[in-house]
Structure 1
Amino acid sequence: MKALLISGLALALALSFASAEAQQKTATAAETKIGWQALPQDNLLYLDTDQGRIVILLAPQFAPDHVKRVKELVKNRFYDGVTFYRVIEGFVAQFGVPEHEWGSRAKLTPMKAEFSWPVRGADPYLLVQRPDLLAEETGFNQGFAVAREQNQEWLVHCPGVVNMARANEPDTAVADIAIMMGQAPRHLDKNMSAFGKVIWGHYAVNRVRRGEATDGGVIGSAAARTVIKQARLGSELAADQQLPLEMLSTNSSEFSQSLAERRSRTHVFYQHKGNGNMDVCYPQVSVRLRKAV
């Protein structure tokens, strides 16, 4: 009888450990699922250029009207065959149709600017720096670097951010899109309607043909420009043409840990550890291809 009791106790303990291990694996899987979020194909803009594929993550939660305009233009094939006609080294790569080349294209109505929006308390905001050099504070909101001041929030012009080109007046953006590259031109913050960012194909952006600085980056000859062969939303593509991309949540413990490590410079390489301050454009939000299950 004693042997049976001991055997039963051992079995119970084994089952208990097995259950605990299973719960731990389930919790770990849940954390992984929360930490990495699949990106909806309807908010991915694929630019297939003669220099490679560029993928832009659109942000309708911040600039809904500009994202709606871009999606409409894509579905109407407006961007198919257009070129990067203004490219300034270390600053911007702008594509669309120069005004003098519009020809038979329909005239589009200029858009009302979406420079900023009221802070929303329910958003999963992560503070990075307070005060910031150019705002009261900066942080991350749903994968995007943002700045906040006086209850207003706006996208920060980190490298890779895209905005809608405009004239001097604020409500004049129409269709041309500019990609920030090489640096963070933060003088454009709250002065341009930013509506997304490049998350894939940065190498292709870096290979876009440049214009001359003396000409304001404008490439006069269409034959000398980088061409967008086609622009499609991910939801328009066949499954085998889509990229199953996922992004590390900026509200995850994994992302917070990476920020802490960058802020404190814990690696043995660093002889000077800094003062703990951080530029919001420094930590990049990781994007990867989703692993097959």
Structure 2
Amino acid sequence: MKLVSKLSWLTAGFCWICQVNAAEVAAKVAVNEVWLDLPQSELVYLQLEHGTVVFKLADQFAPRHTERFRQLVRAGFYQGLTFYRVIDQFVLQAGLPEDEKHPTLTNQNWPGVKAEFSWPVKAADRYTLVQKPEMFAAETGFNQGFAVGRDSGQEWLLSCPLTVNLARDTNADSGTTDFALMRGQAPRHLDQNMSVFAKVVWGAELLNGVNYGPAQTGGIIADVKARSKIVSATLGSDLPESARLALQWQDTSSPAFIDALAQRRARGNEFFKHKGNGALDICYSQVPVRLKP
């Protein structure tokens, strides 16, 4: 990340200033770091006109939706389609508007997917508590790299920035093909109302280059030529090895990640004059991702 100002760390989701002069802390943390390889079969490479964005599929939480997304990707459904509804600091929605024809495919028979809003908590899952109580849930935490809420024995994926859900109408089971990517302020009012099935793990900065729609049309971009295009979407396991990114993310149950959460909660760096009340917004704590050394 290039620091363009003293406050540019604000765009990163956690405190970069706290890390600037902390070589000795970094060395200590590195001992406790655990990095997990992201399987290529769980990655989708979304090739935009200006670069590549990578999704990590949440198979363990939304298997019906990840199965559908794989089917669409392998059918070439998204190739040549566009982001047709884009609202600044909220959502980037892509796919095929109802009144438009697919540029290459004739099969439009994609039935709705049964909603996967929540599921019973699994005691065996590697879960890291972040906040209890929390504004929109009894508690929040990380489960295998994904931000989740929990209440009354149920669990769900949170609508944090960079999560991906299947667009739908008022029918909970009406999502078919189009996806919505969350941006900006966390739209937590969507928790347990949308089926989240993936999150962006690479190339998030490229989303800033997607063309926005006018506010007066609710973000809808009527002119197809004015929309940003998806060149292709491909499963990592279907790409030649030379085209794959060897991505890893930090184990959210590891000592290093848990310590980082504690540091953010305490605002222990001398930069912070107001230390807050000890609460921590889980959507502010993105999981670190890197290329495998």
Fold conserved (TM > 0.5)? yes
The one-letter code of the counterpart of 2:35 is W
Check whether the contact 1:160–1:179 (CA below 8 A) recurs between aligned residues: yes
Q: Does 1:96 align with 2:95?
A: yes
Shift of 1:102: 3.4
Q: Does 1:237 align with 2:239?
A: yes
What's 2:159 paired with?
157
What's 1:48 paired with?
47
- Residue from 198, 201, 222 that aligns with 1:199: 201
Distance in 2 (alpha carbons) for counterparts of 1:132 and 1:244:
35
What's 1:21 paired with?
none
270 and 236 in structure 1: CA distance in 2 versus 1, 3 angstrom threshold = same
What's 2:251 paired with?
249
The one-letter code of the counterpart of 2:47 is D
What's 1:81 paired with?
80
> What is the identity percentage for the equivalent residue pairs of Structure 1 and Structure 2?
50
Check whether the contact 2:150–2:156 (CA below 8 A) recurs between aligned residues: yes
Where does structure 2 lack aligned partners over 5 or more consecutive residues? 1-28
Shift of 1:51: 2.5
The one-letter code of the counterpart of 1:170 is A
Distance in 2 (alpha carbons) for counterparts of 1:196 and 1:141:
13
73 and 270 in structure 1: CA distance in 2 versus 1, 3 angstrom threshold = same
Distance in 1 (alpha carbons) for counterparts of 2:85 and 2:93:
5
The one-letter code of the counterpart of 1:145 is A
SS class of match (2:201): strand
The one-letter code of the counterpart of 2:158 is V
Q: Does 1:71 align with 2:73?
A: no
The one-letter code of the counterpart of 1:129 is Q
What's 2:121 paired with?
119
Shift of 1:84: 0.4
Matches within 5 A, 1:118-267: 118-267=120-269
Check whether the contact 1:51–1:208 (CA below 8 A) recurs between aligned residues: no
Distance in 1 (alpha carbons) for counterparts of 2:183 and 2:176:
21
Shift of 1:183: 1.3
TM-align CA RMSD: 1.4
For each residue in 1:175-201, what CA deviation from the matched residue of structure 2 results, as whole angstroms up to 9, or x when unmatched? 101100011000100000000100111
247 and 183 in structure 1: CA distance in 2 versus 1, 3 angstrom threshold = same
Distance in 1 (alpha carbons) for counterparts of 2:249 and 2:121:
23
Matches within 5 A, 1:54-65: 54-65=53-64
Structure number with greater Rg is 1
SS class of match (1:246): strand
Greater helix share, structure number = 1
Shift of 1:284: 1.1
Using structure 1 for the length normalisation, give the TM-score: 0.87
The one-letter code of the counterpart of 2:97 is P
The count of corresponding residues between Structure 1 and Structure 2 is: 262
Distance in 2 (alpha carbons) for counterparts of 1:277 and 1:29:
26
Check whether the contact 2:159–2:182 (CA below 8 A) recurs between aligned residues: yes
30 and 122 in structure 1: CA distance in 2 versus 1, 3 angstrom threshold = farther
What's 1:10 paired with?
none
Check whether the contact 2:83–2:92 (CA below 8 A) recurs between aligned residues: yes
SS class of match (2:216): helix
Shift of 1:115: 0.5
For each residue in 1:68-113, what CA deviation from the matched residue of structure 2 results, as whole angstroms up to 9, or x when unmatched? 0000111111111110000000000010000111353422111110
* 4+ residue runs over 6 A deviation: none
- Residue from 259, 268, 271 that aligns with 1:269: 271
Distance in 2 (alpha carbons) for counterparts of 1:137 and 1:167:
28
Shift of 1:30: 9.3
The one-letter code of the counterpart of 2:270 is V
Using structure 2 for the length normalisation, give the TM-score: 0.87
Q: Does 1:286 align with 2:285?
A: no
